[in-house]
Chain A
């Protein structure tokens, strides 16, 4: 049974897809109705979540300097423990849809400038206190303070004012933004009692699990929050997260059965792990992070679009995904966004390696001589190798690239966003608007390709305030085409989040793109097999 069908069956069994729709889709995939029906009843049996038991996870990306203050979280382990213990107003679901969490309903005025979040009633914090709209308001105030060190400060900048109105929390923006519900799903914006103003790292949230022990960089233990408002999630009685920063040790812990789930499987050993451990399922979720090469559109020789196009055509994307990401990734299309983003324009043709066309554009640009590309291992894992592969594929198109390796120390202060052609990466943003606004509009602080086009800026602003979905999709299509054909970004590949779990012990895993460990919710959504 292929993965799509399995996913559909699971969705149908949990009520995400009607039986009729499932049979239709199964038929489209070439499965007979009877076979599909059997499949559905199997899935329904398997999808009946079992309550109880405990889950131990082995996680990389933790540190003894980690804290429980959601504002300061920046690495993988804090992300996962905050998602497990805390609630946001909204979440972004597996199909990039908005899922209501502490907000019961979201609505906006016609302009998408004033947004109203109806706050769920009867929700209790882990200390027994009731959740009020005032707690939500205070949380947002804390994250939007100018001097705040919050990782969500950039998101909060667009907010003009906030207030509590009865059961509602009302946000007024400086300018229209149809993406606000997506932005509120940011993992820093976890609701705390009194906004966490009294003690930001108290670890008191409203989520499905309470934090019992917090030993940063070592071990975090949780027990089920018996008062949790949503009975459909949080099946385990206990969850333990062990911080295991060494990739080999993580794999060994999974193989020896000490943990049932791990994150950050090294792509180079993922296939090996799959082969030697029969009970282990290695999963890859597409993310929004990408590895790229940036050209300054205002600096010689890159101000010439033919030269930029020549370089874009001279990179072998498939090869990079295969060799640098060991296949755990997808090819990029010279846009900073991919299908992990809501409203992604899927109909834009994929650019591929074409040395002949590259040669043609290179000649047309009139440029002569080598082009210097700066890279460092700190730019992204494998950046030096990637630059050399680029050099070889470009040589076949008659373009000479001079790869200059730079020290990791100071790469982000002295090379990135300073030199006209360098290797870099982006971790992605929750929405297309955020990604484009952060780095590709004229006024962006981090315009690391110096792409400045008033027409492009206008499209982005227009799309931001547009509430009509199809119009918005059309605008993002245009923006994507402009980026792809005129931008200074060479984006050959998006990386993936590679996880593994013991399928004889863990059930309920499904493909949840965008982030590590099912958007950090693996402990909340899975159950004991």
Chain B
């Protein structure tokens, strides 16, 4: 158990280190963007005096490394700074957007992950027979269609033709939980379809790999029911690769769905980031970048830890 704890602590420490590296990259990246922030804020007709004033106010007259550490100190104290364009406190504004994004991601994941794994297992059970072929064809097709097109198709049938679900998924504070769930019906369907394929394929491949093993053959000879063999005996040993793919898809649900957000007008992080990039609102871009990096690193770390827990062999590296 001690070795296990040590391994987990190691992973977490590594994750934090990685996050620091990412913060440096984000800071450098936003600083080498062409154009000066003060110029971007004040526009073309800015006077040199106004530019100098604003630069001093933003601390742009100081060397980059000092600004980096000041920014970092702020972030560690939970102070993400103020937006340049509308002066709002970034932490407060992002809080709302982030919780929206997490809500959509969570609902999609709760449906998508069990569904994908179950479909994967069914595909293995009926390998090369029609259920396997149908599942593969449908999931591959839904992965291959671009999300926005999938969104428009669903919108046309479910919202415009049959009025089953709203085409605009705007949610806001004060809406009841069920109203929110109803509002996000269409984006959830799109996201479930989009992330389905990879997770299902990975489950199928990983489990199929094990189906040739001697212990599976033993289980078959014992006369166990085929689905029980797959779910009870094969799947737990295939969990490591599946968990990795699941986490990558979860991370995608948080950081990569800006197109879906735009199509369904969902007030999440993606749209917020894009709006501020176009206005060169650097503090907001940095804050969003850091949060996205933290989500990616955090989920990957979680995948590592679960893999280690699920697979004793990983605990004893050769």
Residues B86 and A66 in contact, CB atoms below 8 Å apart: yes
Complex Cα gap A243–B86 (Å) = 18
Give the residues in chain A near B42, CB-CB below 8 Å.
149
Question: Given A64-B271, A65-B279, A252-B155, are A218 and B170 also a contact pair (CB < 8 Å)?
Answer: yes
Residue B22 is within 8 A (CB to CB) of chain A in the complex: no
Q: Which of A217, A256, A257, A413 contacts B271 (CB 8 A)?
A: A217
Query: Is A253 located at the chain interface by the 8 A CB criterion?
Result: yes
CA A249 – CA B279 in complex, angstroms? 24
Q: Are A246 and B160 in contact (CB under 8 A)?
A: no
Kindly state the separation between the CA atoms of A257 and B166 in the bound complex, as whole angstroms. 9
With an 8 Å Cβ cutoff, the count of chain B residues facing the other chain is 31
Query: A215-B267, A246-B262, A253-B168 known; 7 other A-B pairs, CB under 8 Å?
Result: A64-B272, A64-B275, A246-B263, A249-B263, A252-B156, A252-B167, A256-B155
Q: How far is the CB of A82 from chain B (nearest CB, A)?
A: 15
CB of A504 closer than 8 Å to a CB of B: no
Which chain B residue shows the least CB distance to A215?
Answer: B172
Q: Is the interface of A mostly helix, strand, loop or mixed?
A: loop
Among B83, B166, B170, B263, the residue within 8 A (CB) of A65 is B83
Give 24 pairs: A residue, B residue, CB < 8 Å, sorted on A: A64-B93, A64-B275, A65-B85, A65-B86, A67-B85, A67-B87, A147-B50, A149-B42, A149-B43, A201-B87, A217-B267, A218-B267, A219-B172, A242-B170, A248-B263, A249-B168, A249-B263, A252-B160, A253-B167, A255-B160, A256-B160, A256-B163, A258-B166, A259-B168
CA distance A253 to B169 in the complex (A): 10
State which of A216, A217, A242, A413 has its C-beta within 8 Å of the C-beta of B168: A242
A219 to B271, CA, bound (A): 14
Bound Cα distance A252, B170 (Å): 14
Q: Which residues of A contact B (CB under 8 A)?
A: 58, 63-67, 147, 149, 201, 213, 215-219, 242-246, 248-249, 252-253, 255-259, 413
| CB-based contact B265/A256 at 8 Å | no
Q: For residue B304, which residues in chain A have a CB less than 8 angstroms away from its CB?
A: none
Residues on B close to A: CB < 8 A?
Answer: 42-44, 50, 83, 85-87, 93, 152, 155-156, 159-160, 163, 166-168, 170, 172, 262-265, 267, 271-272, 275-276, 279, 281
Across the A-B interface, the 8 shortest Cβ-Cβ residue pairs: A65-B85, A256-B159, A218-B267, A64-B275, A252-B167, A67-B86, A255-B160, A252-B155
**Residue in B87, B152, B168 whose CB lies within 8 Å of A58:** B168
| Chain B nearest CB, measured from A444 CB (Å) | 15
Contact indicator A258/B262 (Cβ below 8 Å): no
Q: How far apart sit A258 and B169, CA to CA, in the bound complex (Å)? A: 10
> Which residues in B have their C-beta under 8 angstroms from that of A242?
168, 170, 265
Of A67, A149, A249, A257, which is within 8 A of B265 by CB? A249
**Minimal Cβ-Cβ distance residue in A for B273:** A64
